[in-house]
């Protein structure tokens, strides 16, 4: 009763029907991994001080560039998330299509 | 090959439905007033936030390079990450609780997507006029009129978006410092990137994507129905009362012309920001903004019929039953929420803004000094998270056996400073076990509640 009729075909309607399938798949993959990367960046750098990494890799002297670490970390997580999500999308799609 | 091929279709085949822009009609009413009030409140808090001062600093500042968050009198360190986690858990549970109780209130009144879209719609109305004028303008060929109206809209949108991006970065780089950097064109690359990124996201989401964010991008819109039951407040059209719909002159009672109360004026469809027809039943596209309620109430008032053909109600009430507010789902969410909120504030209020970490010097583990005693060296890392300096005295457990060197050590640690204090501890070489667990205690001289302990081990020769 509470489930609206539209919910039934959410599989087809769930992503934007106005876009070509490969594009809407890619956008979904990128968007979901973006969200995950945001969360992963927050947790990681709350527990890990970039200054320690700086010392660890001994980039020479100077002050560590925190923003560089945060941003690079974010993009690394995003790339990893995208890989996982893209593989998931690929494996879920029917091999016959 | 002799067969003639079917002639190519005159029009190219369209595989994908073209996106139709939704032009929500402007409306006045109780719920619209409420939403505009929340828009002012939330945007006000957001834009004014970075300009509030507390003592000598910005009141709310997330200082990422220094790794500390300032929220009014509170300074949070990476060690306080648990509070952020708890806050997120509270937000999530709060959202579940409200959703189970009253449906998508979040979507309709408080979601940034709704709030900023409302602001962008307002700017669109200032420059392009009412819904009908906007649609006419979109159809009309390019003219001076269209050019300047569209340019004015873009100018407003882009300025507002840039201001939004600037405000966002002001929560991470002090607003006044950022202002002088902008004015002297000396922004760092990352500050520039994030201002533009956030501005672009605001402009794109609130100006163009709008309801598509809710329909295709928002995870909450997908799973909110899991929190719903038949006692959840929903916005719905009273089909039993409204059908069969059809027009009738003002002042003519619906029953006398064999019609339902709905006059099929389609105002509820025109005001909908997601472009749905609420009369088709509950749909996941509905963000529960209640614009259709306001529209329908206005029409019912004009027709002289009671309000509420479209209204906030529950499935149980609609089926003629009773709505149960207190039910297991609500009780479980509520109790969990209260417990976590209590734990959050309890631990925040009783938190000591002091951290102690003891590192035992391992090379060598111990040495025997001239008096025949064994001596160990420790580094006490004292982190004063308070907003003023403190002088700490250090003591060690089992003080009959263990002696500190210096005898009564005192260290002054500045506000927000991490101080490495080096200490030696001695005992008669064979007087105790090895290793022996020892406990260091530091206490602020002016404030006995500012105290922290940490364990370490004392090593001596083995007999």
What pLDDT tens digit does each residue of chain B (463 aa) get? 444 454 444 555 655 666 778 899 988 999 999 999 999 999 999 999 999 998 888 999 998 888 888 988 888 888 788 888 899 899 999 999 999 999 999 999 999 999 999 999 999 999 999 999 999 999 999 999 999 999 999 999 999 999 999 999 999 989 999 999 999 998 888 889 989 999 999 999 999 999 889 988 888 988 888 888 899 999 999 999 988 898 888 878 888 888 889 999 999 999 999 989 999 988 888 999 999 999 999 999 998 889 999 999 999 998 888 888 899 999 999 999 999 999 999 988 888 888 898 989 887 888 888 888 899 999 999 988 887 889 999 999 887 888 888 888 889 998 878 889 999 999 888 888 888 899 999 999 888 888 999 999 999 888 7
Residue A88 has pLDDT above 80, yes or no: yes
Q: How far is A3 from chain B (nearest CA, A)?
A: 8
| Residue A59 near chain B (CB below 8 Å) | no
Q: Judge: A2–B65 Cβ closer than 8 Å, yes or no.
A: no
Q: Judge: B282–A46 Cβ closer than 8 Å, yes or no.
A: no
Whole-number Cα distances in Å, B68 to A46, B169, B353, B414, B453: 10, 16, 13, 15, 23
| Residue B38 near chain A (CB below 8 Å) | no
How open is the CA angle A96-B16-B222, to the nearest 5 degrees?
Answer: 80
Q: How far is A74 from chain B (nearest CA, A)?
A: 13
Closest chain A CA to residue B221: A14
Query: Which of A11, A44, A53, A66 to mutate to probe the B interface, most B CBs <10 Å?
Result: A66
- Confirm if A70 and A50 have CB atoms less than 8 A apart: yes
Count chain A–chain B contacts defined by CB atoms under 8 A.
57
Q: What is the pLDDT of residue B136?
A: 92
Crossing angle between the packed helical segments B81-102 and A21-47, to the nearest 10 degrees = 140
Output phi, psi for B275, to 5 deg.
70, 30
Closest chain A CA to residue B211: A16
Identify the helix (H) or strand (E) that includes residue B113: helix B112-128
- Confirm if B396 and B458 have CB atoms less than 8 A apart: no
- Under the banding of pLDDT at 50, 70 and 90, the label for residue A13 is very low
DSSP secondary structure code for residue B110 in this structure: I
- Under the banding of pLDDT at 50, 70 and 90, the label for residue A57 is low
| Residue A19 near chain B (CB below 8 Å) | yes
- Under the banding of pLDDT at 50, 70 and 90, the label for residue A62 is low
Q: What is the pLDDT of residue B9?
A: 46
Tell whether the torsion through CA atoms of B245, B248, B254 and B258 is positive or negative: negative
Residue B86, classed as helix, strand or coil, is helix
Query: Which of B16, B113, B314 to mutate to probe the A interface, most A CBs <10 Å?
Result: B16
Q: How far is B39 from chain A (nearest CA, A)?
A: 25
- Confirm if B199 and B170 have CB atoms less than 8 A apart: no
Output phi, psi for B410, to 5 deg.
-130, 135
Whole-number Cα distances in Å, A59 to B190, B260, B403: 20, 77, 42
Q: Among residues B397, B395, B400, B401, which one has the least CA distance to residue B421? A: B395
* B positions 157-196 inside 8 Å of A (CB): 188, 190, 193
Highest mean pLDDT among A10-14, A89-93, B296-300: B296-300
Residue B321 burial (CB count, 10 A): 12
3-state helix, strand, coil in chain B (%, to 5): 45, 20, 35
- Under the banding of pLDDT at 50, 70 and 90, the label for residue A12 is very low
What are the residues whose beta carbons fall under 8 Å from the beta carbon of B246, sequence distance 6 or more?
Answer: B257, B259, B260, B262, B263, B264
* Rounded distance between C-alpha atoms, residue A14 and residue B217, angstroms: 9
Provide, as residue numbers in chain A, all residues whose Cβ is less than 8 Å from the Cβ of B230. Answer: 1-2
Closest chain A CA to residue B276: A6
* Rounded distance between C-alpha atoms, residue B398 and residue B224, angstroms: 58
* Rounded distance between C-alpha atoms, residue B383 and residue B354, angstroms: 6
In this complex, which of B64, B81, B315 lies closest to A67 when CB atoms are compared?
Answer: B64
Q: What is the pLDDT of residue B166?
A: 95
Q: Judge: A4–B282 Cβ closer than 8 Å, yes or no.
A: yes
| Residue A18 near chain B (CB below 8 Å) | yes
Residue A82, classed as helix, strand or coil, is helix
| Residue B347 near chain A (CB below 8 Å) | no
Provide, as residue numbers in chain B, all residues whose Cβ is less than 8 Å from the Cβ of A46. Answer: 78, 81, 84
In this complex, which of A4, A19, A66 lies closest to B64 when CB atoms are compared?
Answer: A66
In this complex, which of B18, B81, B230 lies closest to A47 when CB atoms are compared?
Answer: B81
Q: How far is B229 from chain A (nearest CA, A)?
A: 7
β-partners of residue B444 are B392
In this complex, which of B67, B190, B285 lies closest to A49 when CB atoms are compared?
Answer: B67
* Rounded distance between C-alpha atoms, residue B235 and residue B308, angstroms: 10
Q: How far apart are the first and last CA of chain B?
A: 105
Residue B235, classed as helix, strand or coil, is strand
What are the residues whose beta carbons fall under 8 Å from the beta carbon of B428, sequence distance 6 or more?
Answer: B372, B373, B374, B401
- Under the banding of pLDDT at 50, 70 and 90, the label for residue A61 is low
């Amino acid at each position: 009763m509470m489930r609206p009729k539209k919910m039934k075909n959410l599989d087809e309607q769930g992503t934007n029907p106005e876009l070509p399938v490969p594009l809407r798949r890619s956008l979904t993959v990128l968007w979901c991994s973006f969200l995950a990367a945001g969360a992963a960046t927050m947790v990681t750098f709350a527990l890990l001080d970039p200054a320690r990494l700086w010392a660890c890799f001994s980039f020479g002297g100077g002050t560590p560039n925190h923003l560089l670490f945060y941003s690079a970390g974010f993009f690394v997580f995003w790339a990893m998330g995208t890989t996982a999500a893209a593989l998931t999308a690929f494996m879920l799609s029917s091999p016959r299509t | 090959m002799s067969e003639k091929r079917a002639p190519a279709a005159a029009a190219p085949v369209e595989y994908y439905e073209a996106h139709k822009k939704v032009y929500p009609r402007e409306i006045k009413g109780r719920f619209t007033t409420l939403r505009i009030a929340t828009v002012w409140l939330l945007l006000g808090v957001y834009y004014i936030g970075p300009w509030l001062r507390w003592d000598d600093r910005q009141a709310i500042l997330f200082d990422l390079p220094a790794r500390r968050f300032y929220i009014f009198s509170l300074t949070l360190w990476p060690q306080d990450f648990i509070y952020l986690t708890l806050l997120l858990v509270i937000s999530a549970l709060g959202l579940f609780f409200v959703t189970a109780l009253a449906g998508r209130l979040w979507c309709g009144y408080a979601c940034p997507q709704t709030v900023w879209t409302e602001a962008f719609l307002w700017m669109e109305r200032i420059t392009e006029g009412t819904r009908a004028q906007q649609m006419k303008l979109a159809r009309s060929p390019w003219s001076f009129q269209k050019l300047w109206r569209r340019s004015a809209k873009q100018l407003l949108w882009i300025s507002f978006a840039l201001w939004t991006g600037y405000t966002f970065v002001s929560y991470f780089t002090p607003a006044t410092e950022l202002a002088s950097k902008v004015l002297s064109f000396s922004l760092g690359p990352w500050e520039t990137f994030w201002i533009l990124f956030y501005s672009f996201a605001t402009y794109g989401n609130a100006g163009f994507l709008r309801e598509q964010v809710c329909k295709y991008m928002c995870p909450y819109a997908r799973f909110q129905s899991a929190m719903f039951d038949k006692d959840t407040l929903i916005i719905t059209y009273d089909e039993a009362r409204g059908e069969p719909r059809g027009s009738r002159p003002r002042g003519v009672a619906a029953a006398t012309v064999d019609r339902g109360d709905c006059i099929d004026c389609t105002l509820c469809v025109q005001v909908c920001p997601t472009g749905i027809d609420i009369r088709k039943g509950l749909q996941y596209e509905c963000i529960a903004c209640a614009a259709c309620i306001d529209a329908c109430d206005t029409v019912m008032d004009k027709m002289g019929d009671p309000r509420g053909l479209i209204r906030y109600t529950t499935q149980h009430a609609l089926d003629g039953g009773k709505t149960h507010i207190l039910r297991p789902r609500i009780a479980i969410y509520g109790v969990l929420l209260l417990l976590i909120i209590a734990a959050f504030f309890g631990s925040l209020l009783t938190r000591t803004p002091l951290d102690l970490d003891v590192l035992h010097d391992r090379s060598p583990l111990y040495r025997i000094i001239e008096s025949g005693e064994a001596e160990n060296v420790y580094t006490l890392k004292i982190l004063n998270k308070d907003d003023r300096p403190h002088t700490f005295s250090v003591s060690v457990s089992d003080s009959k056996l263990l002696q500190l060197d210096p005898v009564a050590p005192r260290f002054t640690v500045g506000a927000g400073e991490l101080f490495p204090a080096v200490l030696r501890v001695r005992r008669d070489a064979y007087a105790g076990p090895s290793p022996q667990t020892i406990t260091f205690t530091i206490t602020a001289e002016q404030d006995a509640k500012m105290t922290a302990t940490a364990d370490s081990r004392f090593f001596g020769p083995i007999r």
